[in-house]
A = this chain, B = another copy of it.
Amino acid sequence: MVGGGEGAFIGGVHRMAARLDGHWDLVAGNFQSDPVRSVAFGKALGLDEARAYPDFRTMAASEDARADRIDAVAIVTPNSTHHAIARAFLDVGIAVICDKPMTTTRKHADDLVDVVKRTGLPFILTHNYSGYPMVRQARVMIDAGELGNIRIIQAEYAQDWLATELPGNKQADWRGDPARAGPGGALGDIATHAFQLMEFVTGLKTGSLAADLSAFVPERKVDDNVNVMLRLGDARGMLWASQVATGSVNGLKLRVFGDRGGLEWAQETPETLLFTPLGGQQRILRRGGAGVSASAAHATRVPGGHPEGYLEGFAQIYSDAAELMRAYQEKRAPDPYATLAPGVGDGLRGVKFIEAAVASSENNGAWTALD
C-alpha cells in the first residue's frame, strides 16, 4: 500500500476491504510522505520492519528485488501522485489497485492506458460502488434488455461534509487544493463515481455534456457543486454532485428509464433495486432474493436481509482484483464476473469526464465532447 497513513480515511477502508474476503494480506507499504512516520506507521500495523518503506520508489525497487514480492500495490494517495506511483510499480511488473480519479491530467491517463495495454498487468480502479451486487444486477438487467432502449439517466451524488470551510481537516485540505486534487473538487472526488456508475450500469458512453460548476464556500479553489446535462447517444442524462448539499450524507443514486422499464438504486440503501416494467407493478429486487442474477450472487456473502454495505462492496473489488491477479499469474482467463472490476479504461473515461466538465463550465455551459 502507498498512502493511507495517519489521519487518512480511505487507507483503513482499503485495508478492511482487502482483509474481509481473505484474499489479500498487507505485507509492505509506504504510508506517508514523511519517511520516518511512514516506517513507524507500517510497524504499528504489524509489518515486517524491512517492508515499512520510507518512500514509494524504494518500495517498488525493494519489492521488485524480493522473492516474495508483493502481488499488487494499492495506491491511496492524493490524485496528483497516482500516475508516478502507478508507473513506479507497473514498470517493475507489479499490478496496481488505484484510487480514483486515476490521474489529474489526460496525458497521464493516456500513459497509464498505454502501459497497461503493453504489459497486460492487472490495473484496478477502486470505483467501489460498482462492487455492490445490486449495481451489478442493474447492469445485467439492462444488458438483457429488460429496460428496452434507454432514454433517460438521472445520476446524483450528494454530500454535505464540505458545506463549510474545514480548516485543519486533512481530508478536506488536499481535496481543496488543485495542485493535489487536480482540476475538479466534487467533480473529481464524487461526480466521477456517479459518472462511472452511469456508464457501467447502462453500457452507454457519454458523447458530450454541458456543465455548470460552482464553488459555494468562500475561498474554495475547486468546485463543490456540479450540475451537468449529458447526451449518451439518443439517451439524455443529468448528473448532480455536491459536497455542500446540507443534510446529505453519501447520497449516490442512479435512475435509468427505458422504453420497456425503469429502475432505481441508491447507495445508502444498497440492498434493493426498484424495478418497474412498463405498465406493470413495481418490484423490489433484493440481494439474495428471487430473480437475482448470478452476477449479483457472485458479489454477495451472506443471505438477503443480513445487510451488506460499503465495506462489502469495496471488498468485492478487492476479491475481483485477486482473481484477475491469479488469472494473470496463472496465464488463464479470469472468471468473467471478476472482469467487472473497473480498470484503466474507466480511469480514462473519468479523466475525460473531468476535463470536459471543466471546459464546458469555463465556456458557459457549451456542449463539449468527451474526446
Chain A interface residue count, CB cutoff 8 Å, equals 85
A270-303 vs B: 1/0 string, CB under 8 Å? 1100111111111111100111000000000111
Cβ of A48 < 8 Å from any Cβ of B?
Answer: no
**Of B163, B250, B364, the contact of A306 (CB 8 Å cutoff):** B250
Q: A152-B245, A311-B308 are in contact. Are A281 and B276 (CB under 8 A)?
A: no
In whole angstroms, how far apart are the Cα atoms of A60 and B214 in the complex? 52
In whole angstroms, how far apart are the Cα atoms of A307 and B13 in the complex? 12
Q: Is the CB of A311 within 8 A of B152?
A: no
Cβ of A16 < 8 Å from any Cβ of B?
Answer: yes
User: How many copies of this kind of chain does the complex include?
Assistant: 4
In the complex, chain A residues 145-168 whose Cβ is within 8 Å of any chain B Cβ: 147, 151-152, 154, 156, 159-160, 163-164
Q: Which residues of B contact A231 (CB under 8 A)?
A: 212
Q: Which residues of B contact A225 (CB under 8 A)?
A: 151-152, 236
Q: Is the CB of A151 within 8 A of B244?
A: yes
In whole angstroms, how far apart are the Cα atoms of A112 and B276 in the complex? 43
Q: Is the CB of A305 within 8 A of B250?
A: yes
Cβ of A345 < 8 Å from any Cβ of B?
Answer: no
In whole angstroms, how far apart are the Cα atoms of A186 and B238 in the complex? 17
A249-272 vs B: 1/0 string, CB under 8 Å? 111000101111111100111110
Q: Which residues of B contact A245 (CB under 8 A)?
A: 152, 255, 257, 262
In whole angstroms, how far apart are the Cα atoms of A251 and B147 in the complex? 19
Q: Is the CB of B257 within 8 A of A244?
A: yes
- Could you tell me the distance in whole angstroms from the C-beta of A215 to the nearest C-beta in chain B? 11
A204-248 vs B: 1/0 string, CB under 8 Å? 000000101010100000000101010100001110101011111
Q: A225-B151, A281-B289 are in contact. Are A306 and B303 (CB under 8 A)?
A: no
4 closest A-B pairs by beta carbon, nearest first, are A250-B305, A247-B276, A249-B305, A307-B309
Q: Which residues of A does B touch, CB under 8 Å? A: 9, 12-13, 15-16, 19-22, 147, 151-152, 154, 156, 159-160, 163-164, 210, 212, 214, 216, 225, 227, 229, 231, 236-238, 240, 242, 244-251, 255, 257-264, 267-271, 274-286, 289-291, 301-312, 364-367
